[in-house]
Structure 1
Amino acid sequence: MATMCRRTDPRDPRDLLSVALSRATEPSSDFDLNDDAHLLANVKTRPAGVLCAVEDLGGVPHVILTKRSSRLKHHPGQIAFPGGKQDPGDADPIAAALREADEEIGLPPSHVEVLGTLPKHRTVTAFQVTPVIACVTAPFVARPEPGEVEEIFRVPLAHVLDRRNYSIQSRRWQNSMRHYFTVPWGPYYIWGATARMLRVLAEAVEVGQ
């Protein structure tokens, strides 16, 4: 059972994250550590939204993440936020993120307080992703959607907000070497777009400390 993200002291994650959101102004992308952004200069992007939901577990704020199904077309088996592309029925990327979180992990929109959004992140697969930062406000039972989510897990917020936990690594993709951020946690290899968006949040938090 997840519990709510509570206002317990001056380090309350709502206040910390809200201030950080006001500082994060520069968009990010999968190309930030690479020099090939020009290859997609004329490629039309598709809007998407992901939910960075913070919940309180025993007085310690955690971020909810998923391991994607290996059967998915985009980013199979990778660590990701709940979320996905914006459908015609979604009012905006925030609505898409909330809908997808409900479908993928069983988190009802009524149990979420949206604090704001980070600048958009462009992926190498041509998605323009809006990271939605939010707090879980009521208990819910996490339920992975079998076709999309292999596993749901939590990472302490403090871990992903500490820039010392990040490293830059590389691997070969489509005949070229690509560099990317990682922020591992236990057995979970958090990398790529998810790590880059978390890094943006970490940088914004650090500016105010």
Structure 2
Amino acid sequence: MTVPDLRTRIRDALSISGGASSDFDLNKSIRPTGLTQTPAAVLVAIHPVLETVILTKRSARLKHHPGQIAFPGGKQDPTDATLTDAALREAHEEIGLPYGIVDVLGALPTHQTVTGYEMTPIVGMLTADYDPIPEAGEVSEVFEVPLSHLANPENYRIEGRYWCGQRREYYAVPYGPYYIWGATARVLRGLAERLS
């Protein structure tokens, strides 16, 4: 697919209306009450030539979600004028993505996490190549997954684990050695639904 065609396909997908998602979509009975929703943003960065999505493997030394697969991103700081600014700043800090090489196409609906974040997935296409520089304290690996794999709803499955004494179900979309699950898989599934 040519870059303009891919850009149009992504923009069209982002224009489809849809509601927010959450870590509780499959677990209505365990929704905690009184969670503070801290604004956060992640960058769903698409490499248009390779037609891949950039993901990270979080450092095993992190207190929260060690070793999990995630988008670059984090909470909105007071210095971030917008959630887009937060996503771009975090991507720069976590994987060395230069500020000027992301063509922001829009955002997916927000996703509420079990850890109390209201996460906005910002979708953008790279306009140039770059060499990832993982921030060693947060990121152990930067890798890319074909968009064709992530855009196919048939590649998603529902799995489960016990959490706080109750079985918690979640979406997963494994790829090779990478186990993509939880909020990251739920956001990607929302994108897949719009692209299919």
What's 2:39 paired with? 47
What's 1:128 paired with? 118
- Aligned pairs, number: 196
* CA deviation after TM superposition for structure 1 residue 9, in Å: 6.4
RMSD of aligned C-alpha atoms? 1.4
Equivalent residue letter for 1:164: E
What's 2:151 paired with? 161
Q: Is the 8 A contact 2:26 2:169 kept in 1?
A: yes
Distance 2:52 2:31 in 1: 36
Residue 36 (str. 1) matches residue 36 (str. 2): no
* CA deviation after TM superposition for structure 1 residue 24, in Å: 4.0
Q: Is the 8 A contact 1:24 1:204 kept in 2?
A: no
Distance 1:170 1:194 in 2: 15
Residue 8 (str. 1) matches residue 8 (str. 2): no
Residues 34-89 of structure 1: CA deviation (Å, up to 9, x unaligned):
1136423x221101000000013xx4300000000112222111000000011111
- Which of 79, 88, 91 does residue 101 from structure 1 map onto? 91
Alignment of 1:83-122 (within 5 A): 83-122=73-112
Give the SS at the match of 1:39: coil
TM-score of the aligned structures, taking structure 2 as reference length: 0.96
Residue 80 (str. 1) matches residue 73 (str. 2): no
Question: 5+ residue gaps in structure 1?
Answer: 1-6
Deviates more, 1:88-97 or 1:144-153: 88-97
* CA deviation after TM superposition for structure 1 residue 139, in Å: 1.7
What's 2:161 paired with? 171
Q: Is the 8 A contact 2:47 2:54 kept in 1?
A: yes
Equivalent residue letter for 1:138: A
Residue 142 (str. 1) matches residue 132 (str. 2): yes
Equivalent residue letter for 1:53: A
Give the SS at the match of 1:104: helix
Distance 1:26 1:37 in 2: 20
Identical aligned residues as a percent: 55
Residues 1-54 of structure 1: CA deviation (Å, up to 9, x unaligned):
xxxxxx8267x32111100001142100000011136423x2211010000000
Distance 1:156 1:23 in 2: 22
Distance 1:100 1:169 in 2: 29
Distance 2:191 2:180 in 1: 15
Q: Is the 8 A contact 1:93 1:130 kept in 2?
A: yes
Equivalent residue letter for 2:39: P
Give the SS at the match of 2:142: strand
Residues 117-147 of structure 1: CA deviation (Å, up to 9, x unaligned):
0010000000000000000001211110000
Query: Aligned in 2, Cα 1:181/1:139: closer, same or farther, shift over 3 Å?
Result: same
Q: Is the 8 A contact 2:24 2:31 kept in 1?
A: no
